[in-house]
């Protein structure tokens, strides 16, 4: 299957259906692929019919809901880096740090899900174009990390360094 850009890459099929419906108003935050500076990969058939045409960069300008860190069973976004050299798995956190006592454990589980998905080969089997290419994990959040969250990211970076998988943080403005 050829590479397609600008589409939802959530592993939750219900998210694909919800995001394709322009009348959907569940209050979920919508994130634009370009907000992350990335192109999303996946099957666009279900949503392409309901989105605006691609802009000059070839990316759909469709806003989609993200599962977020609190849903530890879903990969939020799989994206190709702008230069085309590597891929980024993005997890989105819309809540302020420390707003939920379960947040640190949810973040640990989400990082574990992402790293397992990469290391067990599931990423490569679902997206063959990622095989042999650099992959990183990105936490996209609304405010700078607090000390507890920074420690979780540092630990993940230390553990994943031997596999060449960096964990980076992007604070949205």
In a domain, 27, yes or no: yes
Split at pLDDT 50, 70, 90, the class of 156 is very high
- 60-69, 117-126, 154-163: range with lowest mean pLDDT: 60-69
In a domain, 93, yes or no: yes
Model confidence over 37-46: pLDDT tens digits? 444 444 332 2
Model confidence over 1-46: pLDDT tens digits? 343 333 334 444 333 333 333 333 444 444 444 444 444 444 332 2
If one counts the domains in the chain, the total is 1
pLDDT at 171 over 90: yes
In a domain, 23, yes or no: yes
In a domain, 6, yes or no: no
CB 44 within 8 A of CB 112: no
The residues facing 168 across adjacent strands are: 138
Is this prediction's pTM over 0.75? no
In a domain, 1, yes or no: no
In a domain, 7, yes or no: no
Phi-psi region for residue 83, left (φ > 0), alpha (ψ -120 to 50) or beta?
Answer: alpha
Domain, as residue range, for 159: 13-171
| DSSP H or E run through 45 | helix 45-48
- The 3-state DSSP class for residue 127 equals coil
């Amino acid at each position: 299957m050829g590479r397609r850009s600008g589409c939802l890459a959530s592993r939750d099929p219900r998210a694909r259906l919800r995001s394709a419906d322009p009348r959907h108003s569940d209050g979920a935050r919508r994130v634009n692929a370009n907000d992350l500076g990335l192109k999303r990969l996946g099957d666009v058939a279900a949503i392409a019919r309901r989105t605006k045409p691609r802009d000059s960069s070839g990316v759909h300008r469709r806003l989609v809901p993200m599962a977020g860190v609190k849903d530890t069973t879903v990969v939020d976004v799989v994206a190709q880096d702008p230069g085309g050299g590597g891929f980024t798995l993005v997890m989105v956190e819309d809540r302020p740090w420390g707003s939920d006592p379960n947040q640190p454990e949810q973040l640990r589980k989400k990082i574990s899900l992402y790293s397992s998905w990469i290391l067990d080969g599931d990423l490569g089997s679902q997206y063959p174009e990622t095989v042999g290419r650099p992959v990183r994990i990105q936490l996209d959040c609304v405010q700078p990390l607090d000390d507890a969250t920074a420690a979780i990211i540092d630990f993940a970076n230390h553990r994943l360094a031997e596999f060449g998988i960096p964990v980076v943080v992007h604070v949205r403005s």
